[in-house]
A and B are shown apart, each in its own frame.
Chain A
Amino acid sequence: MNLLSKKDVKSMTIAEQFVSKVEQEALSNKIRVYAPMILLVIMTIVFSIYDSHFFSLKNLVNVLGQMAVPLILATGLTFVLLLGRIDLSVEGVMGLVGSAISLLLLNSRNSNDWGVWGVILPLVLGTLCGFITGFLHVKLKIASFIITYAISTIVSGVAVLLYNSQPATVKAQWVIDASQTYFLKIPLITWIAIIFYIICAIILNYTAFGRAVYAIGDNEAAAVASGINVQKVVIEVFVLSGFAASLAGLVALIRLKLGQVSLGENQMFPCITALVVGGTSLSGGKGGMLQTMVGILIYMELLNFLTIIGVSADYKNAIQGVIIIIAVALTITRGRKVIAK
């Protein structure tokens, strides 16, 4: 863009200047969308050259396996973030659902063996948590971060009561088999995550609901004016996020077998980081499923790579922190006079 060269500025009329300003904004928007993808490609190439273990089939399969839980959570959170809301309850719901499933299937603590109902009922329970969260958020007009935090502590407490502080190990054979099943060298749990991701991508891109999510996140007043039932959409998004957290709880349980609250610990912030790195804005309206996938891949690759080259933990935390700040700084819309609160 040589529109900004000094000579041009002088001869431009104000209207022309305005047009070029809008063009520049559009360009920087484009950069914001494509930068993470370019980053992902460059990272992959550089990492592969740096350490041959990185691009080995085995390692990539590992990364894909580790991706399952973050991908599911991030998929659900994408909707929430697009609305400009946040859902802090996903960790608690994950823990609750994982614990409940572990206690209802064949396990080391009791004699339950509910079969398929042992999975379905907890999933319904977790989804219901999402509904309650959304309902309270919308009807009582409580800020999402507060109500979701409250719900998170409640469900964690309930989960601990369920297993009475002694988590159960799942013994059901199909769970054990599921954790060791592969299609095309990719673990079953990753396939679950990918299928969920694809369904959600379709919902976001091919339904009125998906469009409404963007509309509300970008300009809630305009969404209301267009006849969108904002309250209903917001509740539905939290229901979806609750289901995603429940599914993540199931997948985490399949992976780790031990049904406890800590299944969900430290899962949410990495996901939100990944989303922001991918280009989803915390203030709503910007982002999408492609960005979510890119963000998750960048995050997982980076973590994996740092472990492979043996970076010590102190540096690793610092590196992650720096990445978050850079990513947020890049995705945030500037020009506001007030510092974001």
Chain B
Amino acid sequence: MKKALLLFVVLAMLALVSTAVFAQDEVWHLGILVHSLDNEFWAQEAKGGELFADSKDDVVAQVLATDGDDNKEMQAMRDFIAQYGDHAIFVTDPASKANTANVVEIAEEAGAKVAILWHHADELEPADWDSFVVHMSPDDFVAGYNTAKHLFEKMDGKGKVVALYGQQGEDSAANRYAGFLAALAEYPEIECLDMQVASWSQDQAMTFTQTWLSKYDNIDAIWAANDTMGLGAIEALKLEGKNGQILVCGCDGIAAAYEAIEAGDMACTVANNGYLLMGYGASYAYQAAKNGVVPENPVIKTQAVLVTSDNVAEYKAMFIDGTPEYDYDDLNFCVLSAHPSFAELELEEKLGTAAAVAVTGAVVEAAEEEVAWNEIVDKINAEIEKGIENGEEGAAEAKEIVDFLQGLYNEIVSGEAK
């Protein structure tokens, strides 16, 4: 008797819960397509999608793991669409670059909106499709470039570096490494002794590092394309007591990497911020489906922060110990250039914090209001040219700053960071 009563209560509760969700006329079903949850970053992404859904009364989210398998991803979408029709919306960290074409076609057929993160097939542009709302990604090239540059600066622009490459055949791995090479080209006194493919693996990275340490005795820094490999390198260094002496960087921003930065074992990483990426991706898809809002520029570079010993505490508190709170209705917030970024941090070094904030603010304002920025810059440049010719003090530095601001402005206007 007791059991029957208990069962009744449970059923009643279930009914209540489901009416609460389904009572509304329009419920949007968000399919969160990620590789799997066994990787911290992917889990962060999925969490971001869920955070967004939690912030809306009319969104129900479901995580669909694809295991990086094209067919699984397509099947998951079809199943989801079969269930929810055009009230299905998707945000995906796609199984592969090529498969995004299939993803878009499936969505288009069903009239479901989809936001795609990280990579998309060549010539597959959001502008050409109704359902392909937006493509968003942090810039891997910039991430690789910035981590490398941070190492090189700490090396005072000279010494020996080795590199740990990600997975062969993956875009992010290739772009991050391209960023590393671009930075390397700027430092003629830095030599890259060797590069090895460690396939994002901690174990392999540790093994390679051990072998390097027995072969070379003059390594100054190890550039790793992600945090896991960086942590592997650090374990190898620890065995020789060289952690903290040989610089190591990572990328992605996982918890263990923040701890390593706090401990002084890791120099820097980039917080790719999966919460923001997938949360805002979902938001774009939702807004397009519900309100027909389409971003003017549907190819978005999201903000990614270089995390060093200076700001690690702040980001760890935000991303690891807690979850970041975002206003998902402010769709522009996630865009790289509309938010203080590492570019601004660099400006701080040159001008000091207050001035940097002021100048950046002015530039952002100018960009948004589309004043005749080029004319202003041309005039300033002409003045500076004169100053240089006359040998005036500080003229060269002024030119550097103006060039920098020009870059920042271009970033904001084009939304492109490269």
Mark A residues whose CB is within 8 Å of B.
Answer: 53, 56, 58-59, 62, 65-66, 69, 108, 156, 159-160, 164-167, 169, 179-180, 187, 252, 255-258, 260-263, 265-267, 303-304, 307-308, 310, 313-314, 316-317
Contacts and interface: CB of A to CB of B under 8 A. Distances in A.
Interface string B331-372: 000000000000000000000000000000000000000000
Given A165-B39, A166-B40, A308-B214, 18 more contacts: A53-B214, A62-B214, A164-B43, A166-B43, A169-B255, A179-B239, A255-B206, A255-B235, A258-B202, A258-B231, A262-B38, A262-B39, A262-B201, A262-B228, A266-B201, A307-B212, A310-B194, A316-B197
Contact of B208 (A53, A255, A261, A307): A307
Please give me the 5 A-B residue pairs with the lowest Cβ-Cβ distance, nearest first.
Answer: A165-B43, A313-B197, A59-B214, A160-B38, A58-B214
Contacts of B210: 62, 65-66
Nearest to A99: B38
A65 B168 CA distance: 26
B388 interface: no
B211 A108 contact: no
B223 interface: no
A304 B210 CA distance: 10
A180 B238 contact: yes
B54 interface: no
Scoring B165, B194, B202, B259 by chain A CB atoms within 10 A of each residue's CB, the highest score goes to B202
15 contacts: A59-B211, A59-B215, A66-B207, A165-B38, A165-B46, A167-B255, A169-B259, A179-B238, A187-B239, A258-B202, A258-B228, A263-B203, A303-B207, A304-B211, A313-B196
Given A62-B210, A108-B259, A180-B239, A165 B232 contact: no
Interface of B: 36-40, 42-44, 46, 165, 168, 194, 196-197, 199, 201-204, 206-208, 210-215, 228, 231-232, 235, 238-239, 254-256, 259, 320
B336 to A, nearest CB: 26
Contacts of B165: 313
A166 B235 contact: no
Scoring A164, A256, A310 by chain B CB atoms within 10 A of each residue's CB, the highest score goes to A256
B202 A256 contact: yes
Contacts of B194: 310
B213 to A, nearest CB: 8
A166 B38 contact: no
A166 B255 contact: yes
Given A53-B214, A62-B214, A263-B203, A165 B37 contact: yes
A304 B235 CA distance: 18
B235 A257 contact: yes
A253 to B, nearest CB: 11
Contact of B215 (A53, A257, A260): A53
A310 B228 CA distance: 22
B252 to A, nearest CB: 13
A266 B232 CA distance: 15
A307 B199 contact: no
Contacts of A267: 203
A167 B39 CA distance: 9
Given A53-B214, A59-B215, A313-B168, A256 B231 contact: yes
B181 to A, nearest CB: 15
B69 to A, nearest CB: 13
A11 to B, nearest CB: 59
A271 to B, nearest CB: 13
Contact of A167 (B211, B239, B256): B256
A160 B37 contact: yes
A257 B196 CA distance: 22
A183 to B, nearest CB: 15
A159 to B, nearest CB: 7
A187 B240 CA distance: 12
A304 B206 CA distance: 12
B362 to A, nearest CB: 40
A308 B40 contact: no
Scoring B44, B46, B197 by chain A CB atoms within 10 A of each residue's CB, the highest score goes to B197
Contacts of A307: 196, 207-208, 211-212
Contacts of B168: 313-314, 317
Nearest to A60: B214
A166 B214 CA distance: 33
Nearest to A261: B38
Contact of A256 (B197, B199, B235, B320): B235
B65 to A, nearest CB: 10
Contacts of B231: 256-258
A44 B94 CA distance: 45
B244 to A, nearest CB: 15
Nearest to B42: A165
Nearest to B168: A313
Nearest to B200: A262
A62 B211 contact: yes
Contacts of A265: 201, 203
Contact of B38 (A257, A260, A314): A260
Nearest to B216: A53
B209 to A, nearest CB: 10
Nearest to A305: B211
Contacts of B37: 160, 165
